[in-house]
Structure 1
Amino acid sequence: MKVSDGGGLQEEEENIEILEINIDDALAMIESGEIKDGKTIMLLQYIKLKSIM
């Protein structure tokens, strides 16, 4: 588990996992329910709408 430098606080037992996946797979993960976080969904949809990737 990564602690500090973007990896969370040990005393809060944050479990942060970094995944690198392509945009189409990420959008499919929204449809399947694997991605449920609203901020992440909005970011991915913005990227797709603006053709950033």
Structure 2
Amino acid sequence: MKVSEGGGLDHEEENIEVLELDITEAMQLVESGGIKDAKTIMLLQYIKLHNIL
């Protein structure tokens, strides 16, 4: 859950968007190329491999 404003630093031109997806939808986005960030992909794969969700 979002606990503060967040969203990145203006001077670093960070554009951060928080999305809440169920694991099935997130994995479909990985497979279709909708999620491209390696850290996110590895975390989702770890979650699936260890049956965390």
Q: TM-score, normalised to structure 1's length?
A: 0.84
Q: Which runs of 4+ in 1 moved over 4 A?
A: none
For the aligned residue pairs, the C-alpha RMSD in angstroms reads 1.6
Where do 5+ consecutive residues of structure 2 fail to align? none
Identity of aligned residues (%): 66
The residue aligned with 1:21 is 21
TM-score under structure 2 length normalisation: 0.84
Gap runs ≥5 in structure 1: none
SS at match of 1:27: helix
Count of residues in Structure 1 that have an aligned counterpart in Structure 2: 50
